[in-house]
Amino acid sequence: MRLTTSKLMGLGLILAAFTSLPQAQTAAIKAYPDKQVRLVIPFPPGGATDVIGRIMAQELSKSLNQQVVADNRAGDSGNIGADMVAKAPADGYTLLMGALTSHAINSNLEKGSIKYDLEKDFTPVAVVGVVPLVFVVNPSVPVKNMKEFIAYAKANPGKLTFASSGAGAPQRLAMEMFRFQLGLDLLHVPYKGSGPAMTDLVGGQVLSMSETVPAALPFIQSGQLRPLAVTTAKRISQLPDVPTVTQATGLPNFDVVSMFGIEAPAGTPKPIVDKLSSDIKIILQHPDVQERMLAAGVYVNYLSPADSAKRISRELNMWAKVVKDANVKVD
């Protein structure tokens, strides 16, 4: 087979095009970001994910010298926004402000309907912080501490109610884990959000709850709710006199928080992920950022991309076991 001059020229152009592709991609990565970046917040304005996302968008806009826009895409317990980012181009210009604990729970509780894979469809950029939970009761419940709560629950099987902000919320799953490990018969009452759940808890329509510290703190301070234990491995600065679940009950390694972090679509170039993560690490070291986060009940807790991936895997495995062992269903 003889190749004509025109065919040789055509082959040369094709080879040149393929050769230039990596160079073009490298140039694009080096120039990142050269346009607006979108940080998708998969929950409505006002919640912890939104507050964290807006702080991160504001600070990243400064460090990247490019506008980072906070874009609320709420719905289906955070699944709509997460799925949108999972399907976005892997170029670093669409990111997810993830409520990672909620996403990990949803991945186990809604396997048949969820449209994204938390590990396969995302590249972790950084875990940025955690929100502790606290077990609280209405003061009408005749208990002063967690041991008395356990004794009361065992003496009244099926009568002690606990509220949650949703069927797959960390607040519910923390209580399900606690209930299962201690063999307690508690009645779950799901609500559409923390607001209505707290209203009924304060009013005595439900009797107990595992809730985020920011949501419960004002009612604890006013005496409308009684704190029994925090769900973290160590005591927290906002409730220094409240013991951990492990301290209060002897349950080993009870450590549940609502974890938040930034994720990129799977396949996002490593240099872009590393640049974002490096900037986030520096941002989270700023005292004013830490103060703003803590004011929203968020404890800064930076994890690198690799450590974030390990922590997400651990969350998925932990909640898979809880969902299976405690036979948790979407109510």
pLDDT at 47: 81
Residue 253 region, left (φ>0) first, then alpha (ψ -120 to 50), else beta? left
Determine the pLDDT at residue 112: 78
Query: Positive or negative, the Cα torsion across 9, 10, 11, 15?
Result: positive
The answer for 221, left when phi > 0, alpha when psi is -120 to 50, beta otherwise, is alpha
Which pLDDT does position 21 carry in this prediction?
47
Closest Cα partner for 184 from 278, 100, 111, 251? 251
pLDDT by 10s per residue, the chain, length 331: 455 555 555 555 555 555 554 665 666 677 899 999 999 999 888 788 999 999 999 999 999 999 999 999 988 888 999 999 999 999 999 999 999 999 999 999 888 788 899 999 999 999 999 999 999 999 999 999 999 999 999 999 999 999 988 778 899 999 999 999 999 999 999 888 888 899 999 999 999 999 999 889 999 999 999 999 999 999 999 999 999 999 999 999 899 999 999 999 999 999 999 999 999 999 999 999 999 999 888 999 999 999 999 999 999 999 999 999 888 887 6
Amino acid 189 reads: V
Q: Report DSSP state, residue 111.
A: T
pLDDT computed for residue 25 by the predictor: 61
